[in-house]
Amino acid sequence: MNALQKEPLPTVFPCLFCNHEKSVSVKLDKKAGIGDLSCKICGQQFQTGINYLSAGVDVYSDWIDACDTVAKEAADTSQANDGFNSYEDLAAGNERRNSEMNIDRHLVSAVGGNEYAGDFIDDD
């Protein structure tokens, strides 16, 4: 290969989902402006808009970016739904609940009730 020849861009890629090498192929429909990506092993598919300069590697790169975006959104949603950001927060939440129960126990004892706040049994 001489200095003026360019190395060709890859046309097959590894799959992000099943991790098989050379299992993802890209088809470009430049007339319609659509790039289709599919894995022949796991069946994963992706479609994105392209232009006349786009190559298969551009569609693959868009797929990686889309997967990263979905993963980040899922992580953010998961954290928001949990209400806790880490195991430390979860442990702190348990300690808070335990200390609140201890306060309730002391209040019940102070007014002449049973030892535990959950034991509201009348002695009739």
pLDDT for 12-68, tens place per residue? 999 999 999 999 999 999 999 999 999 999 999 999 999 999 999 999 999 999 999
Domain boundaries defined on the chain: 12-82, 84-117
Reported CATH class of domain 12-82: mainly beta
Total-model pTM: 0.61
Q: Which of 106, 109, 105 is nearest to 117 (CA)?
A: 105
Residue 96 pLDDT class (50, 70, 90 cuts) = low
For residue 34, give the H/E element and its range.
strand 34-39
The tokens describing 40, both together, are 């022949």
Determine the residue type at 11: T
- What's the pLDDT score for residue 117? 46
Residue 13 in contact with residue 62, Cβ under 8 Å? no
pLDDT computed for residue 81 by the predictor: 72
Between CA 106 and CA 117 the distance in angstroms is 8
Segment of 5-9, 24-28, 105-109 carrying the highest mean pLDDT = 24-28
Q: What are the tens digits of pLDDT across the range 114-124?
A: 444 445 555 55
DSSP 80-112: HHHS-SSHHHHHHHHHHHHHHHHHHHHHHHHTT
